[in-house]
Amino acid sequence: MTKTSPQSPGPLFLGIDTGGTYTDAVLWREATGATPGAVVAKAKALTTRHDLAVGISGAVDRVLEEARVDPAAIKLASMSTTLATNALVEGQGGRVALVMIGFSETDLARDGLRTALGTDPVLFCPGGHDVHGRAAELDLSGLEAALPELAASVSGFAVCAYFATRNPAHELAARDLIRERTGLPVTASHELSAKLGGPRRALTTLLNARLISMIDRLVAATEGFLERRNIACPLMVVRGDGALVSAAFARARPIETILSGPAASLVGARHMTGLDDAVVSDIGGTTTDVAVLDRGRPRLDPEGATVGGYRTMVEAVAMRTFGLGGDSEVALESGALDPKILLGPRRLLPLSLASLTHGTAVTAELERQLRAPNPGRLDGRFAVRTGVPERLAAGLTPPEAKLYEAIGAVPLPLDALLSSTAQNATLSRLVARGLVHIAGFTPSDAAHVLGRQSNWDVVSARLGAELFARRRDGRGQAIAPSAQAFCERVLVALTRQSAEVILETAFAEDGLDGAATVAHALVQRAVDANHGIARLSVALDRPVIGLGASAGLHYAGLAPLLGNDVVIPADADVANALGAVVGQVRVSAEAMITQPAEGVFRLSAADDAPRDFGDEAKALAQGEARIRAIVAERALAAGTDTAEIDVARDVQTSIVEGQRMFIEARLVATASGRPRIAK
């Protein structure tokens, strides 16, 4: 009888997800042979935005303690994050300068670029190229003169040149000048996308530049923690399309991590449930992310991810992100006789969490406000610094600097802080810069009052609910008979609004205007099940997978509103962290071949100067060889040594008077493979 030696266990992988409220950690043992992979341990800790390493260490230390394993046994660490997504939804990010070469100020009106720019500086320089890569005269003297002043007031630069995807020379010149004179991070648009559409490419580049300092802090905090815990392994980050890339790769292209957390959650949802067709809804503290699984794969949005109202050029999961979560701002509809409860899109620091973190300062002020004979407009609201480095406060206006100076590390009630209506707008700008948190009543506080959540301070949550319940409706009556009744209304509103965002996604995937369709009176009547002579109903064709730590609470009453099952997996609370360790590295490179003149085939690829060929076949062959080399290099940088490369060709031609005419060709090389792990 032949003895078989026992199979050695699979390697250990550490998955981390840094969300707006919680940081999750999961320890996963990779499958070996017939032994399936399994979750060894999982844990949560509060995300600490002022020092992300604190939250990361809290979650990872707990998971290591629970698993009782040697940290040195971990062979791969992988991280997903909602920080970039949340920053765009909440309008946060560093102050950056946008440099537009070959564009005019009228281009700011396209694709939401002017709105996204806000009060950040923009410079216009002569230059750029035409569709075939031929250059106009470049003049960077204006940029050169402005750099000393800009260097002191911004955290980075975004550079976008006209038709830089066909010839990046002018972007490279501006990038090199800025780096030489300032030493600050610079994002060039051609590095992020090979697609045409200058203003939208500029928008994507601007947002990327804003996010660099945030993602850099996250990666640095994670790497520092891993080193201190003797975890010597590669660190990967989940991209918005679900692929894994190295931490260094993500540091340079943080915009590609938008929807990173949601993309990881889809991978985790599929893994945990085995469902091939489902709607996945992931509710967090700040956002709800909804996407569709078809035949086991998430639908991708080739037109680019839309987050915070901005359509970017980042190819990502076709995920719709809504400002709805457990920490959403609770407000009342203004001017209505019977005001509705409004939720989001802004995230607040829950009163119960603020009190837990800062002691009795919050509770004492809430009690003071309750003793007042009449409710105040700013009752239950506080401001507190986020604790980010002081250098990120560069470029504040005098009113902003004065208000920021008045706000400290201890929550300050807004009724004591703000002395004029104009200061409200000033405070909002500080919040948008990520310098200040607003604390206030949220659904998480309502859950504490009702005993459905108990991890934070119940007393401050109840005081906040009492302040809300005594507010007046349009008839002068209290809006709720008790704090408990008001909290029930808040949670019902969250479940109802969750159903609406899921239906909005479903309608949009069916080619309809999702928001307008959901708002239609007939759909509202169907969701409410208000049956009259004409009975209406609405139902999804597939189940919903509910993810997030609070999914069990907020989705308990969801199934009747959607006409299908709602499945909440056992590890729904760490789906993002789990999804972070089961993905693959995947990167791509593109080349374009155009015909600027008959018999001339011009190849444009990456940072290369355009090259001309006299033969179409040779141009195609050289283009394919070049992007294979580029994508192989990118795959190594992204963290895999075992990439398989595929090349797709899209050659556009036409027939004119019986003759084949070449128009253009697009070549895309894709490399994919499992990430390299520590030996």
**pTM over 0.75, yes/no:** no
The confidence band for 334, taking pLDDT boundaries of 50, 70 and 90, is confident
DSSP 574: G
**DSSP track, 105-162:** GGGGGSTTHHHHHTTS-EEEES--B-TT-PBPPP--HHHHHHHHHHHTT-SEEEEEET
Could you tell me if 443 and 328 are in contact, meaning their C-beta atoms sit under 8 angstroms apart?
A: yes
> pLDDT tens across 618-656, in order?
999 999 999 999 999 999 999 999 899 999 999 999 988
Position 244, amino acid: L
Torsion of CA 350, 354, 356, 357, to 10 degrees: 140
Predicted pLDDT of residue 8: 57
The pLDDT of residue 161 is above 60: yes
Could you tell me if 25 and 62 are in contact, meaning their C-beta atoms sit under 8 angstroms apart?
A: yes
> pLDDT tens across 209-218, in order?
888 887 888 8
Across 338-344, average pLDDT: 90
| Helix, strand, coil abundance in the chain, percent, nearest 5 | 40, 25, 35
The pLDDT of residue 462 is above 80: yes
The pLDDT of residue 14 is above 50: yes
Could you tell me if 457 and 352 are in contact, meaning their C-beta atoms sit under 8 angstroms apart?
A: yes
The pLDDT of residue 660 is above 60: yes
Across 272-284, average pLDDT: 92
**DSSP track, 349-409:** EEHHHHHHHHTHHHHHHHHHHHHSSS--TTTT-EEEE----GGGGTT--HHHHHHHHH--S
The confidence band for 76, taking pLDDT boundaries of 50, 70 and 90, is very high
Predicted pLDDT of residue 485: 96
**How far is Cα 212 from Cα 337, in angstroms, rounded to an integer?**
46
Q: What are phi and psi of 587, to 5 degrees?
A: -135, 165
Contacts of the segment 523-527: beta carbons below 8 A, 24+ positions apart:
527/496, 527/499, 527/500, 527/503, 527/561
Give me the chain's average pLDDT, please. Answer: 89
DSSP 340: P
Across 471-476, average pLDDT: 87
Across 69-88, average pLDDT: 84
> pLDDT tens across 543-598, in order?
999 998 899 999 999 999 999 999 999 889 888 889 888 888 989 999 999 999 88
Decide which of 373 and 387 is more confident.
373
The pLDDT of residue 6 is above 50: no
Predicted pLDDT of residue 3: 41
**How far is Cα 78 from Cα 579, in angstroms, rounded to an integer?**
9
Decide which of 301 and 323 is more confident.
323
